[in-house]
Amino acid sequence: MPPSFAVTGGRPLKGTIRPAGNKNAALPILAATLLAEGPCRIDNVPHIRDVETMLALLAHLGAAVEWAGPNSVVVDTRRAEPRELDPALCARIRASILLAGPMLARFGRVSLPPPGGDVIGRRRVDTPFLALEQLGAEVTVGATYQLEAKGLVGNDIFLDEPSVTATENALMAAALARGTTTLRNAACEPHVQDLARFLADLGAGVRGIGTNTLTVEGGGPLRAAGCTVGPDHIEVGSFIGLAAVTNGAVTIDGVRAEDLRSILLGFERLGVRPRLDGTRLIVDAGQERRIRPDLGGHVPKLEDGPWPAFPADLMSIAIVAASQCEGLLLVFEKLFESRLFFVDKLIGMGARIVLCDPHRAVIAGPSALHGGVVESPDIRAGMAMLLAALAAQGDSVIHNVGQIERGYEQIDERLRALGAQIERRDDGR
């Protein structure tokens, strides 16, 4: 049976924890090694299932892949070939689509089976392919996505939405395309910035990093380069929520302050106010945990959006945190129509939540949570259920924790170091 976590909650967590490398940066950076004319060493790579799958896809293409340390991997793609991607591997992760841009740029053709990933609603693939078409690709949609290009040429591209995967695919393809590419309405999340910096280190001329207009001077050979993946700001947000719901005192060591502005603003609305001290973020015990109403006493709203707005991947965490805070909060999750369906599990544990529609929920707190037997439906909802179990009185069992482990490295061991009572059971009990 799939593994599960057995959790006994109700204990404040205390201590210091380091965020892992950002998986959403590591995955496109690993895909981008296909563009390099030599081995690339990538450091601070989270050793998680999604990364293992991406490395398996690169190895399937003929790349040499070697772990040089617990979180360092060397990838040499000089012998890679334009093989059809393994459908079973592609079905495991949505990030398989990130191979479209670099494979097209290097080989001139791609056969891409439908990508997998979290089931959180419809996730468009139109925008990445529309962007690649504007660089000169011909796209055929059938049982697989077929892309061909005799030669990519830079272009002025306006994305129909600030899609992360479209921006990353277009950046990687533009790095080898002839001439100048300008990407407008581009995504600018921290992981997109990390990829852009890596492409610049390979030799591509990338300007506008951190903005929604990126310019790439491509066409030249790209050398080998090393890279250190930045800290995962979603993990940082998860640990802020973890400290808040357990009323613990947790120091998160190794953060990048510029990645946290919208996250800290969102938690401040819940009455949770961590302190920044250089690269350390300190969440003191005894947080106010009182939801700040809007002017006039109106019910406040926490909504997500493209960067630099509050990240969609932290909405599940914010809902659990709000359930332990005094007051009313409306959350508005705009991006995925199934992201909030996990709240029925929280309601079963005692949370007072009204799911208004697939995108909005009202949370009334604080609620005394009790242990329960729940399922991990996706990475972020699974982590939210783990937070709820640690905040609850009594015992909980979380099934299907392989979903959590796709995005959070050795999370049970790291939380035990903070005093959590959590046990991983491989028999699924």
List residues with catalytic annotation: 118
CB neighbours (10 Å) of residue 38? 13
Would you state the structure tokens that stand for residue 95, as one six-digit string?
Answer: 């990030």
DSSP tag of 271: T
- Helix ranges restricted to H, 324-377: 343-348
CA distance 404 to 5: 10
Would you state the structure tokens that stand for residue 65, as one six-digit string?
Answer: 């892949």
H/E element, 7: strand 4-9
Would you state the structure tokens that stand for residue 85, as one six-digit string?
Answer: 């991607």
Would you state the structure tokens that stand for residue 353, as one six-digit string?
Answer: 């939540």
CA distance 305 to 63: 36
Contact 173, 195 (CB under 8 A): no
Would you state the structure tokens that stand for residue 221, as one six-digit string?
Answer: 């050979």
Q: Dihedrals φ, ψ of 416, to 5°? A: -60, -35
CA distance 71 to 206: 27
- Per-residue exposure over 93-113, b if at least 16 CB sit within 10 Å of its own CB, e if not: bbbbbbbbbbbbbbbebbbbb
Contact 203, 221 (CB under 8 A): yes
Alpha-carbon distance values, 98 to 224, 361, 390 (Å):
19, 32, 35
Q: How far apart are the first and last CA of the chain?
A: 8
H/E element, 241: helix 233-246
DSSP tag of 426: T
DSSP tag of 255: -
